[in-house]
Structure 1
Amino acid sequence: MAGTEESSKDPILLYDSSSSATQPLLSSKPYPDVEQQTHEDSAESDQTQYLQISYNYSPRQFKDLPFLILFILFVLCTYGFGIFAVANKNSDYSNVSSYVYDSNSSSCVEESSSLSLSGLGFSKTVFWNAFLSSSSSFVRDLIWVLVITAILSIPICYSVLLLLKHYTKQVVYVSIPFFVLIPIFFNVYWFVACTVNSSCRDAFPLAYRILVLVFVFLVIGIMVWIIVANWHRIELTVRVVTVASHALSQNLSLFGVLPGLTLGLVVYFAPIIVFLVFARFNGEIVVQESSGEYSCGWKQDSWVPAYFALAILTMLWSVTVMIEIQVYVISGTVAQWYFSKDDSRPKKSIRSSLRNAFGPSSGTICLSGLLICAVRVVRAVVDSARQEEASGIVNVILRCCVNTFVAAIDFLNKFTINFAAITGEAYCTSARMTYELLKRNLLSAVVVETVSTRLLAGIIFVLSAIYATVVWGILKGVDDLGVYSYYVALLAWALLIVVLGFFAHVLDNVIDTVYVCYAIDRDRGEVCKQDVHEVYVHLPISRNSRSLPSRTPLA
């Protein structure tokens, strides 16, 4: 047993210690020729070809360093040119309107217009004070509602986790009717309210109101059809969510670390936003000619647009890198719990995951973030071109090629970071090994229970809608805000759904991580978490791999 435990912690140990040292990590022929060997010989030969993959507790080597260096260069250039933009700003930018063209000197000179400016400032101040005085109750109630919602979101998330852990089936089956009832209620409510209100009735004719009402009911009908079509998978989804909730409850400290990472990203973005504001101040006031008439305008320095592009790309890349860091930390922490011999959480699991994420695997995370960023940008460009109704066979072919490329990247990136967090391998190696791992165990990278994601989204929508309705009712009873009560309730709904959406994102990544850990267990012929195997064994197998010989049965 001691030898088994030691070998399970070594991610590069072969099944057969007598195998040749020159054997590749992933064989180009993952299965022997079944026409020449029996099934028993195939299984025995199978064990001598593959790595005994497990969580890598040993010190890891730095991977994908060029992408880490490239990311650091982007950040340094963004901050460096940003500091230059602040130091090189032109204070005349805010006084462009006070400059006029002087025909005598053929240049722009400052015009004394302090009276008009002061009058304009006075009118703006009076208008703003009048707005605040007329809506002081709205501002006060809005602040209080948002603060209370932010405070209550923590116990709400914890309560949802406990409910999903112990009463998943009840929560799911109670929430499903509300997936339909809440949209129906709001659809009928707005139609009746708009019909009763004279201003809305005049601005929105009856024919258009009926058209929107019918369209929304058609969308609701499609939702009902989707629920009915996937009804046979509800029970399995309930069990998958239960297992993931149990795993997440064993690593609750993630909810302290992950928001901290998000807050760190906000702090990191603050100087860049300041740099972008001051970059606009770099330029000069010049004479501009239009239709034979001269005027004064602001001309930015030629490097400012390039800096905007650099800063925006850096921010987009940083966002995707932070998302991948969170996925990496979740995967590393949950994998350590999964491969532990008992059900308790290993000590310093989050600390080691953070150390690996910001250390040896930082280049891998940067590469993954770069790919995701590129996919998002390309997809946005394709969507914008589609909205512009670009026609022609060339555009159609290009769009198909881009969509194929985007789908391939999404498929490649599905479990790569999860696997990299477990083994510490480079990005390309992790992608290849993940594909081979799932393939030889008859599993699929695209067949993980996606219904669970939709169910979680539906549950979050229902809870947020109920909370927003309660907030609206309290505001109507306590303070008469009129139409502003809807705005306050809508903002409270948006804030809560963002917080619960983050919770669902974490739980979704836990489901993916447990799936990869389950595949590793199958590959090794072991059972680290019996309750996980009892659920994940019912997931659909990969149809493209049914002709392959099966692995050694689980212990």
Structure 2
Amino acid sequence: MASTEDPNKPNSTFDSSSPSEPLLSKPPFFPSFPPPSPIEEATQPLPDESDPSQYLQISYNSGPRPFKDLPFLILFALCVLCTFAFGIFSIFHRNPNYNNLSSYTYEFNSTSCVKDSLFSSTNGFFETHAYYYFLSSSNSGFWKALIWSLVITLIFSTPICFLLLLLLKHYTKQIVYISLPFFIIIPIFFNVYWFVACTVSSSCSDALPLVYRILVLVFVFLVIGVIVWIFVANWHRIELTVMIIGVASDALSKNLGLFVALPLLTFSLVVYYAPIIVFLVFARLNGKIVPKESSSECTCVWKQDSWVPAYYALAILTMLWSLTAMIEAQVYVISGTIAQWYFTKEDSAPKRSIRSSLRNAFGPSFGTVCLSGLLICVVRTVRAAVDSARQEDVPGMVNLILRCCVNALLSAVDFLNKFTINFAAITGKAYCISARMTYELLKRNLLSAVFVETVSSRLLAGIAFVLSAIYAIVVCAILKGAINLGVDSYLVSFLAWMLLIVVLGFFVRVLDNVIDTIYVCYAIDRDRGEVYKQDVHEVYIHLPISRNHRSLIVPRTHDV
């Protein structure tokens, strides 16, 4: 098949028409084959541009993209429209007597519930004053320290993320190897600290006997031992992971606009959730007060309208689907932006890459995003149901086999979906075609997706945990030295730690998606026989072809 050359693309290092070779720990050798005979050429089918098997045409699609997966886009729009329509109806159809249910009494003469106005006003007065009494009796020092700690943590989280990105870009190896001992030191510190503090405190020692404290102490040390074993078992992969994280950090540092677009998308989801939550609150006000006979006594109870439970199910489903769709949209924007950076010449920079990725994510490919989000929503729901059934300890071999099959199926869907949305963001293909082409692309090049998925993610999560734990310790020390909060200082420090680890977790998730996108772009490069980013090839060429294959990091002395 003849391929047209793009003058803006870099020179290929080998002929793109040659068969693809698996990616090994050393540069592959591409032998030359004689041209096919006229008989073979006549028997070969003509190329079809709509056929997803024409993999040599894979590249970033910068032109106009047609709408894909429209049925799922229409289904999602119907869910949102019905949620808002019935929500607005619930506001205007609400029954204001819901809050005065306790003021209604059953009247035997009329066999109905009648409102007692005196009791209602007295009850409302009591509830209002009780609420203000609770607020005034709260510990003002605790709330002030908590609010200030969370605000300062939120302000400091942004420079902490940028500083971490800068360090990972220039000093990746030093940051990783400095953080590795803290993966063990910090859990040991917290384990010993709580044991000693609980032993010294009389209230804690009375509530938790010495035997139970020792059991918890030993259990935590066993978990730490498992972490050490994981480090030892994967030590040969640390060096390659360091190089991969460094390449991804460099790519992310050249697309810092993502740190503006992605939080804005998250904020827009919160704004989108606000009216739905209001609708859910007003939906429970739709009903009437009816008499109910129980134990030979008639009382007044609240009876919801029959459509309210169905609306709750619809609204919750819409919220879950919207959440997973927004997560996939963010992955789409990250992948599209990084792919434009990757498939651009070294001496030039892509223009309006984030804007075009946003336009594609919420435009032609929004149906694909909705389908991917729906699959993730179904997988998470089914997995939660399976985990709930596991906790109930339902006996039976059939139940155990069924659970294993479901878990295997869910893991397969998760793995298939992982790189599908990245591929769809690059090419603009529909979901099913993207899933098929991604699978064939990775299978044809024998790339180790498991390696990229597990090691780098866990290492980045460990670094985020170490930084947030150190920050929590500093906050606790400041609170104990400057403010006399007592035990409440631990709670404030814990909440500050939670907030920082959420922000750093968001940063880690973005960097993980960058790693996955570069991985797919590199696979496309290898499949086409081209080199767009030399530094990426120098790192990713050392990826093992299987999970058990150990790749030695050796200096490269020749071009890719």
Letter in 2 for 1:86: I
Q: Which residue of 1 aligns with 2:421?
A: 417
Aligned-residue identity in percent? 70
Return the structure number with greater relative CO, CA threshold 8 A, min gap 6: 2
Take 2:35 and 2:153, find their aligned partners in 1: how far apart are those partners?
57
Q: Equivalents in 1 of 2:347, 2:80: separation in Å?
A: 41
Does residue 317 (structure 1) correspond to residue 321 (structure 2)? The answer is: yes
1:354 is aligned, of 358, 378, 386, to: 358
Pair 1:138-2:142 in alignment: yes
What runs of 5+ residues in structure 2 fail to find an aligned partner? 22-29, 48-53, 550-557
Normalising by the residue count of structure 1, what TM-score does the alignment of the two structures yield?
0.90
Task: Indicate yes or no: 2:133 matched with 1:129.
Answer: no
Is 1:535 matched with 2:527? no
Q: CA deviation at 1:289?
A: 1.7
Distance 1:449 1:121, change over 3 A: closer
Match of 2:301 among 287, 297, 300: 297
Counterpart residue number, 1:56 = 61
1:499 maps to 503
2:399 to 395, 400, 410: 395
Matched, 1:78 2:79: no
Structure 2 residue corresponding to 1:41, chosen from 18, 33, 38: 33
Relative to structure 2, which stretch is displaced further, 483-492 or 108-117?
108-117
Q: d(CA) in 2 for partners of 1:346 and 1:319?
A: 29
| Distance (whole Å) between structure 2 residues aligned to residue 484 and residue 292 of structure 1 | 50
Q: Deviations over 1:390-412 (max 9, x none)?
A: 12233223212211221221121
2:272 to 244, 268, 273: 268
Matched, 1:374 2:355: no
Equivalent residue, structure 1, for 2:162: 158
- CA shift, 1:487, in A, is 1.1
- 1:236·1:535 contact (CA, 8 Å) conserved in 2? yes
Residues 82 and 272, structure 1, Cα contact 8 Å, conserved in 2: yes
Superposed, which structure 2 residues align to 1:137-536 within 5 Å?
137-342=141-346, 344-536=348-540
Query: 1:50, CA displacement in angstroms?
Result: 3.8
Gap change, CA 1:116 and 1:51, over 3 Å in 2: closer
Q: Indicate the residue corresponding to 1:5 in structure 2.
A: 6
- Secondary structure in structure 2 of the residue aligned to 1:538: coil
Q: SS of 1:446's equivalent? A: helix
Say whether the 8 Å CA contact 2:73–2:366 is kept in structure 1: yes
Q: Could you say which residue in structure 2 is the equivalent of 1:118?
A: 125
Is the CA contact (8 Å cut-off) linking 1:327 and 1:417 kept in structure 2? yes
**Match of 1:34?**
none
**In structure 1, what is the Cα distance between the partners aligned to 2:219 and 2:270?**
40
The RMSD of aligned alpha carbons is 2.5
**Alpha-carbon contact 2:20-2:445 (below 8 Å) kept:** no
Q: Is the 2:448–2:543 Cα contact (8 Å) retained in structure 1?
A: no
Offset at residue 118 of structure 1 (A): 2.7
- Kept after mapping to 1: 8 A contact 2:55/2:437: no
Cα shift at 1:159: 0.1
Aligned position for 2:108: 103
- Alpha-carbon separation, structure 2, partners of 1:423 and 1:328: 11
Contact conserved, 2:451 with 2:547, CA < 8 A, in 1?
no
SS of 1:69's partner is helix
| CA displacement at 1:52 relative to structure 2 | 2.6
TM-fit CA distance, 1:107: 1.2
- 1:78-107 deviations in whole A, cap 9, x for unaligned? 000000011100000000011111222211
Q: How far off its partner does 1:124 sit? A: 4.1
Counterpart code for 1:129: S
Give 1:425 shift. Answer: 0.4
* Structure 1 contact 331–510 (Cα < 8 Å) conserved: yes
Describe the SS at the equivalent of 2:194: helix
224 and 344 in structure 1: CA distance in 2 versus 1, 3 angstrom threshold: farther
Change over 3 Å in CA distance of 1:43–1:317 after alignment to 2: farther
Contact preservation (8 Å) 2:450, 2:547: no
Distance 1:290 1:193, change over 3 A: same
The residue number in structure 1 matching 2:553 is: none
Question: Quick one: which amino acid aligns to residue 525 of structure 1?
Answer: G
Equivalent AA in structure 2 for residue 491 of structure 1: L
After the TM superposition, which of the residue ranges 257-266 and 526-535 deviates more from structure 2?
A: 526-535
Q: Separation in 1 of the partners of 2:376 and 2:491?
A: 35
Q: Secondary structure at the match of 1:285?
A: strand
State the aligned residue count. Answer: 521
Distance in 2, matches of 1:95 and 1:332, equals: 54
**Inter-partner Cα distance in structure 2 for 1:200 and 1:309:** 43
**How far, CA to CA, are the matches of 1:151 and 1:235 in structure 2?**
34
Is residue 78–residue 307 contact of structure 1 (8 Å, CA) maintained in 2? yes
Task: Compute the displacement of 1:39 (Å).
Answer: 6.1
Contact preservation (8 Å) 1:328, 1:357: yes
Q: Structure 1 residue 448: deviation in Å?
A: 2.1
Deviations 1:234-259 (A, max 9, x none): 11110010000000001000000000
The answer to which of 528-537 and 341-350 deviates more is 341-350
